[in-house]
Amino acid sequence: MFQGSLVALVTPFKDGQVDYKKLKELVEFHIKNGTQGIVPCGTTGESATLSFEEHERIVSDVVSTVAGRIQVLAGAGSNNTSEALRLAKHAKKVGADGVLLITPYYNKPTPEGLYRHYKFIAEEVDIPIVMYNVPSRTGISILPETVARLSEIKNIVGIKEASGSIDQTTQILQLCNITVLSGDDSLTLPIMSVGGKGVISVVANIVPADTAALTRFCLEGNFDAARKCHHKLFPLCKGMFIETNPIPVKTAMKLLGRINGEMRLPLCEMTREHENQLINTLKNYGLMT
């Protein structure tokens, strides 16, 4: 259901408040440049710092701005099952195409607890669900066997896989037929080469057309062209993680004149050393002179 390049959209702020005007401009930018889907209110969107009211308005505004032209996969995860349920219900109400649910962080649930968390939400809200496995953020990784169990639930349709392990993706796809989307830009090609269907991308905030081209070539089976895209994108992908995401991507977007780069505490501006490194990466890619 979800495939290609879906952007993990940044949340623009202005003087401490969500900049909803800029948010709509960013959505239009992605539609114009070939992005297949918008993912608001994820990790890159600083969801952990958003109030419920902000989160829900961002999702509503993105859905209304997209107006059915591409897909919207709304971030709706939490370490509190009832909070995740609230956000998933809202996404369904306003017309999102699906929800992205991170594995509950901090709690460190058992495999059975993870299974029950996703099963409960799936049974309460009739909306396509994509799980999100990112152990570097959550402290826990969902087992391939648990993914396979959950794939039997009709509206659990995919997983964003950001464990950094191609073995994990391979094991999932050997056990079930669920859609796997890369959660690591630098691993999009390897993950798609073993059967993944696309990426939920940070770097697409910077170069949406190039990211979309990579996934398109992979889906077409043109891996010679895909490798060329991968090697071009690779330094930029790595540059987006020289500090905690989304600090580098928001800084890059500021340098390119797309947003003001404002973040919410506890995130803050990059060190000067890393910013110079990022500038060189953008110059080498041809984005800055």
Does position 269 have pLDDT exceeding 90, yes or no?
yes
Q: String of b and e for 28-40 (b: at least 16 CB within 10 Å)?
A: eebbebbbbbbbb
What are the domain boundaries of the chain?
4-221
Annotation marks residue 285 as catalytic: no
Top-level class of domain 4-221: alpha beta
What token pair was written down for 7?
Answer: 């952007």
Q: Which of 160, 228, 250, 254 is catalytic?
A: 160
CA–CA dist 227, 188 (Å, integer): 10
- DSSP label at 269? P
Give residue-wise pLDDT tens across range 212-250: 999 999 999 999 999 999 999 999 999 999 999 999 999
CA–CA dist 172, 177 (Å, integer): 8
Element (DSSP H or E) covering residue 51: none
Long-range contacts of 174-183 (CB under 8 A, 24+ apart): 174/144, 175/144, 175/145, 175/147, 175/148, 176/147, 176/148, 176/151, 176/152, 177/151, 178/147, 178/148, 178/151, 179/1, 179/2, 179/3, 179/130, 181/2, 181/3, 181/6, 181/130, 183/132, 183/133, 183/134
Q: Which of 92, 115, 118, 132 is catalytic?
A: 132
Does position 137 have pLDDT exceeding 90, yes or no?
no
pTM of the model: 0.95
CA–CA dist 157, 150 (Å, integer): 9
Quote the pLDDT of residue 1: 85
Number of Cβ atoms within 10 Å of the Cβ of 94: 17
Annotation marks residue 118 as catalytic: no
Quote the pLDDT of residue 281: 97
Quote the pLDDT of residue 289: 86
